[in-house]
Amino acid sequence: MDKINLNIPKKSEYMSTIRLTTSALSNLNGFNIDDIEDLKVIISEVCTFFISNIEENNKPLSIEYQVEEKRLIVEVSDLNDGKIDEKNKANSEMCIMIIESLADNYNFDLENKKIIFEKNLICE
């Protein structure tokens, strides 16, 4: 298993870097183009959720990729001190629906400002 850590400023301008990193690691692990696109959509939704719902942005987003044989696990954490307000938790429903439909497994830990998702490689 390989672990790749990416600490990146919590700004939408860096979304293409996050998506490109996710795409490259997925490709290296043998995912097909549809699964790679799914992973790019998921990572975009997760990062956008944190960018939109926690105003503090002086600390980065931490993204840890665990590249395993036939599986990619991604953990995104917001390292800022802010909390997700109750009114913003409703915004998480759309994000959860997208992740639920595209990921093989996921965990939303809003208390600790962490979202983990995984995608398994299906050998055809």
56 half-sphere exposure, CB direction, 13 A CA radius: 13
**Residues 4-49 pLDDT 10s:** 999 999 999 999 999 999 999 999 999 999 999 999 999 999 999 9
The pLDDT-based confidence of 52 (bands split at 50, 70, 90) is confident
Phi and psi, residue 118, nearest 5°: -140, 155
**64, 74 in Cβ contact below 8 A?**
yes
Instruction: Look at residue 111 in the predicted model and tell me its pLDDT.
Output: 86
Instruction: Look at residue 82 in the predicted model and tell me its pLDDT.
Output: 78
- CATH assignment, 2-120: 3.30.565.10
Instruction: Look at residue 19 in the predicted model and tell me its pLDDT.
Output: 97
**Residues 99-111 pLDDT 10s:** 999 999 999 888 8
**What are the Cα distances from residue 8, in Å, to 20, 31, 62, 87, 120?**
13, 24, 7, 26, 25
Instruction: Look at residue 88 in the predicted model and tell me its pLDDT.
Output: 65
Q: Map out the domains of the chain as residue ranges.
A: 2-120
**What are the Cα distances from residue 91, in Å, to 7, 16, 56, 81?**
24, 22, 17, 19
**Residues 77-120 pLDDT 10s:** 999 887 777 666 666 788 889 999 999 999 988 889 999 999 99
Question: CB neighbours (10 Å) of residue 10?
Answer: 20
Phi and psi, residue 9, nearest 5°: -50, 140
